[in-house]
Structure 1
Amino acid sequence: MAFERQGRKITLFALTWPIFIETLLHMLMGNADTLMLSQYSDNSVAAVGVSNQILFLLIVMFGFIATGTTILVAQYIGGTNYKDAKEVSTVSLSANLLFSILISVVIVIASEDILQLMNLPPELMPDATIYLQLVGGFSFVQALIMTSGAILKSYGYTKDTMYLTIGMNLLNIIGNYFFIFGPFGFPVLGVQGVAISTVVSRIIGLFVILYILKKRVHFTLNFKELFKLPVHHLKNLLHIGVPTAGEQLSYNTSQMVITVFITMIGTEALTTKVYAQNLMMLILLFSLAVSQGTQILVGYMIGAKDYEAAYKRCLQSLYSGIVISTLMAVIFSLFSDSLLGIFTSNERILEVGGVLILLTIILEPGRAFNMIIISSLRATGDIRFPTYVGILSMWGVAVPIAYILGIHFDLGLIGIWIAFIADEWVRGIIMFYRWKSRAWMTKRFSQHAAVS
């Protein structure tokens, strides 16, 4: 099922494959700093790892504006309301810029205090502080890239953001090489150099993506026009973004609690969990890419008031996502020993990790339900229901079952994986019935004037 925009057909596949490649690159190359620093110093790796945990939370915070931007711009485009699409783009970029500058200033001033709250060992403090101050101090650049990328994706230009990601990653790796290994007499700066490389590649990326925005959609950020724009655009962005961010923060917090349970089982269990989840993330990518592409298409269809097409689009994407994720999980399970063997030769880790990957065959279809249907619900304006159900399931299903099975009944990681399965399927089934009920048809942002 394709959606035609300005005489150009946009299919799910055309939207999805660049998103898949882009996300895969983020995953594989996002750890380039850590991988290359491992050749320099183990302490440097640990320092950057802790700092990146904090920086990841910042990305979640900046993401709530970007999520709202994707949905609103897609709806306006679907309704051929290009004026409001550009207005929302202006508001979202401006709002995320102001918010992220404030956060960046706080990070620079309070970086050492934040790291001390995490009980960072004294020997790691200097490297962690300089990395957090440099990368965190320029985090507003990443916020603008995320928001600009959301705008481009909403217009259907997912390949542009993919190429940008490739370019930024290459620049970052080249910079890391020079600062870590010091070829041609280049100064070896270690963590500080890696931070500089990260910041410079992002700044170049920002200028490139703003140029692409101007070229593709004739959009130029004009702060003079900002205060002339209707305030309901910002309200709509917050209406979508705040609950979404709350759900993401709730998920991350619940995962931290479950990680504490795993530390109670032992270090070997924690290591096994990391290796198994690294492989699971590769399976997850398919559902993630399909969910993002579907969200854009459903947004177009809602904007065009073609609710029946939106209804069918979500279900078709869901069935594709379930088949692909299940097939990938089966393949990964068949080769689990070889895949886990990339990370370790520990027989116990290989044995337990193999069982976890086997359980993933049940887990991933449930996750596909959640990712694809929740993204579609958000695209229609049905924001709060999936958020409330998600938070209730995380804390009412995943966390207690993980403790009861994993710790109380001593099932270890297998019990915790069963908790993950229960959480995903409980939420997935509820979301499925929510979509089938068509209750989302009454949302459409009409109550807060998002679509004219």
Structure 2
Amino acid sequence: MRRVSNPINLLDRSIPVGIIIWSLAWPSILEQILQVTVTYVDSAMVGSLGAHATAAISVPTSTIWLINGWMNAFAIGFSVLMARNLGSGNTMRAKQITKQALFSSVYFGLALTLIGIILARYLPAWIGAEAEVQLLARHYFHYIALGYFPNLVMILISTLLRCSGDSKKALYLNGLNNILNIVFNFFFIFETISLGSLQVKGLGLGVKGAAMATSLSCTITSILLLIILIGTDNPIRIRLFERFSYEKSIQRSAIRLGIPVALERSTLSLGQIVFTKMVGTLGTTALAAHFLANTAESITYLPPSGFSTAATTLVAQSLGSNDKELAKKFANLCTLWGTLLMSFMGLMLYIFAPNLMGFFTSDAAVIALGTTILRIEAFAEPAFGLSMLAFGVFRGAGDTRRPFFISIAGMWLLRLPLAYLLLHTTSLGLLGIWIAMASDLTLRGIICLVQYRRFTWLDSWKETH
């Protein structure tokens, strides 16, 4: 395979801080754009099958987010540890961490697959969806779960590459994953595909086909990412068949970093599951509007996600080299830029809410309801962006517990109780549920600002040594 040049030295003082941040952020932002584009196209394809198909995908979505959160926690635990060792100049140790992460992913990925297959049988009935929706949701979740192992490998290698400073390879391969997903969607979902005057026969599997397309594209991408990791020049290049010795200290440190992230994601996702159950009592229209509005809102996450990823990498490597001032500079600029861009995206969300909803469905009732709740959410976007950026900084510093506690406070002490109260004491319905969500995100941003400005996170990394 053709060799490519190594990424820039992220700790090189001769390179302006802004250029280093942007070199990491833009591939991540572009990657997020591609992923959101695919999510939009995916939702529009399924949405063309009717409200029942859209509702079926929305039923397991929160649970899928939960399991994806565990995957990301696994990847973050090993990746931050690897980045810290790269920052300290211990390249051999960084490669050892990378290799151990890959071997550990086999067992964790297979366990997640088994959990997903079991949940697929019982979750739709528990959510309380209509009988027709339950059957479609079971099929969808089952085939998504079959792809959990390759999905974990894809997330792990992508995160390792980003935290090593090589975000472009992750961009290229995840971009390919998104393209494959769209192509497979056409052939798996629909019975016929029109290519100009040419009619191509598809499998016509509907909702189930969308899940199959996702799992197949993840499988292909994970294989290619593994080839990239072992076959190209990068700071953590490894050889799979080299002698490998399992180190308990690596596993303990990765778990110490990863468990709070997993708990944080679990806290949010379990709350989302309860949230979805509340929405499920409002009927298929509300369920479809809730799912599509969440999908539409995901476009606003693009700038903060890119800068949050950059902050995690740069703070981890800076503190690994024991340079607190550089870590602080990176964190401040990432947080400022990301929050400003998120605020702008919130404005765009408010203005173009009807257009976004109209892209996914032609159902007038779903569009009207989705537009209203999106405009409620738009006011919380600046605070939400700030929390995403602060979480990225905290994780890079090894402080993965603080995001967990902040998430608990927002989701379980405010969002869910307020949503329940508004649902049962007012006639707001879905609007009340989204007012509760916006309140949670605003509180989370305020808490993050206070915690961030204390700068105690600069010393958190010592706990994982």
Alignment of 1:19-38 (within 5 A): 19-30=28-39, 32=41, 35-36=44-45
Is 1:434 aligned to 2:434, yes or no? no
Partner of 1:190: 205
Q: Distance in 1 between matches of 2:282 and 2:136?
A: 31
The code of the aligned residue for 2:310 comes to G
Partner of 2:237: 219
1:232 touches 1:448 (CA, 8 Å); kept in 2?
A: no
2:282 touches 2:429 (CA, 8 Å); kept in 1?
A: yes
- Which whole-Å deviations, capped at 9, do the CAs of 1:306-334 have from their partners, x for residues lacking one? 11222232222222222222222223323
1:261 touches 1:407 (CA, 8 Å); kept in 2?
A: no
Is 1:162 aligned to 2:177, yes or no? no
1:366 Cα deviation (Å)?
A: 0.9
3-state SS, counterpart of residue 233 of structure 2: helix
Q: 1:125 to 1:282 in 2, by over 3 A?
A: closer
Q: Distance in 1 between matches of 2:93 and 2:278?
A: 48
1:149 Cα deviation (Å)?
A: 0.5
Q: Distance in 2 between matches of 1:278 and 1:124?
A: 19
The code of the aligned residue for 1:426 comes to L
Partner of 1:173: 182
Q: Distance in 2 between matches of 1:4 and 1:328?
A: 31
The code of the aligned residue for 2:455 comes to R
The code of the aligned residue for 1:399 comes to L
Q: Distance in 2 between matches of 1:442 and 1:164?
A: 35
1:235 Cα deviation (Å)?
A: 1.0
Q: Distance in 2 between matches of 1:263 and 1:25?
A: 30
Q: 1:268 to 1:366 in 2, by over 3 A?
A: same
Partner of 1:141: 150
Q: Distance in 2 between matches of 1:238 and 1:4?
A: 27
The percentage of counterpart residues that share the same residue type is 24
1:301 touches 1:307 (CA, 8 Å); kept in 2?
A: yes
Q: 1:285 to 1:194 in 2, by over 3 A?
A: closer
1:76 touches 1:85 (CA, 8 Å); kept in 2?
A: yes
1:268 touches 1:349 (CA, 8 Å); kept in 2?
A: no
Partner of 1:302: 319
Partner of 1:209: 225
Partner of 1:311: 328
Is 1:282 aligned to 2:299, yes or no? yes
Is 1:363 aligned to 2:394, yes or no? no
Alignment of 1:362-401 (within 5 A): 362-401=379-418
Q: Distance in 2 between matches of 1:129 and 1:403?
A: 27
Partner of 1:60: 69
The code of the aligned residue for 1:181 comes to E
- Which whole-Å deviations, capped at 9, do the CAs of 1:50-75 have from their partners, x for residues lacking one? 56655443322222111213322222
1:430 Cα deviation (Å)?
A: 2.5
1:363 touches 1:424 (CA, 8 Å); kept in 2?
A: yes
Alignment RMSD (CA, Å): 3.5
Is 1:404 aligned to 2:421, yes or no? yes
1:141 Cα deviation (Å)?
A: 0.9
Q: Distance in 1 between matches of 2:372 and 2:40?
A: 26
1:158 Cα deviation (Å)?
A: 1.6
Q: Distance in 1 between matches of 2:205 and 2:173?
A: 26
TM-score normalised per structure 1: 0.84
- Which whole-Å deviations, capped at 9, do the CAs of 1:401-440 have from their partners, x for residues lacking one? 2333454254555544443343223332322222222222
1:383 Cα deviation (Å)?
A: 1.9
Q: Distance in 2 between matches of 1:6 and 1:170?
A: 38
1:77 touches 1:85 (CA, 8 Å); kept in 2?
A: yes
Q: Distance in 2 between matches of 1:40 and 1:313?
A: 46
Q: Distance in 2 between matches of 1:257 and 1:280?
A: 20
1:181 Cα deviation (Å)?
A: 3.5
Q: Distance in 1 between matches of 2:357 and 2:187?
A: 32
Q: Which sits farther off after the overlay, 178-187 or 379-388?
A: 178-187
Q: 1:285 to 1:34 in 2, by over 3 A?
A: closer
Q: Distance in 2 between matches of 1:159 and 1:359?
A: 35
Match of 1:200 among 213, 216, 227: 216
1:379 Cα deviation (Å)?
A: 1.0
- Which whole-Å deviations, capped at 9, do the CAs of 1:371-403 have from their partners, x for residues lacking one? 111210111112223312321232112222233
- Unaligned 5+ runs, structure 1: none
The code of the aligned residue for 1:436 comes to R
Q: Distance in 1 between matches of 2:60 and 2:50?
A: 16
3-state SS, counterpart of residue 3 of structure 1: coil
- Which whole-Å deviations, capped at 9, do the CAs of 1:227-249 have from their partners, x for residues lacking one? x2431111111111111111111
1:182 Cα deviation (Å)?
A: 5.6
Q: Which sits farther off after the overlay, 323-332 or 93-102?
A: 323-332
1:34 touches 1:49 (CA, 8 Å); kept in 2?
A: no
The code of the aligned residue for 1:310 comes to A
1:24 Cα deviation (Å)?
A: 2.5
Q: 1:358 to 1:233 in 2, by over 3 A?
A: same
The code of the aligned residue for 1:213 comes to L
1:291 touches 1:371 (CA, 8 Å); kept in 2?
A: yes
Partner of 1:153: 162
1:355 Cα deviation (Å)?
A: 5.2
1:265 touches 1:407 (CA, 8 Å); kept in 2?
A: no
1:338 Cα deviation (Å)?
A: 4.2
2:56 touches 2:134 (CA, 8 Å); kept in 1?
A: yes
1:330 touches 1:358 (CA, 8 Å); kept in 2?
A: no
Q: 1:279 to 1:34 in 2, by over 3 A?
A: closer
Is 1:76 aligned to 2:85, yes or no? yes
Q: Distance in 2 between matches of 1:8 and 1:175?
A: 42
Partner of 1:327: 344
The code of the aligned residue for 1:378 comes to R
Q: Which sits farther off after the overlay, 272-281 or 161-170?
A: 272-281
The size of the alignment, in residue pairs, is 445
Q: 1:125 to 1:423 in 2, by over 3 A?
A: closer
3-state SS, counterpart of residue 368 of structure 1: helix
Match of 2:10 among 3, 6, 9: 3
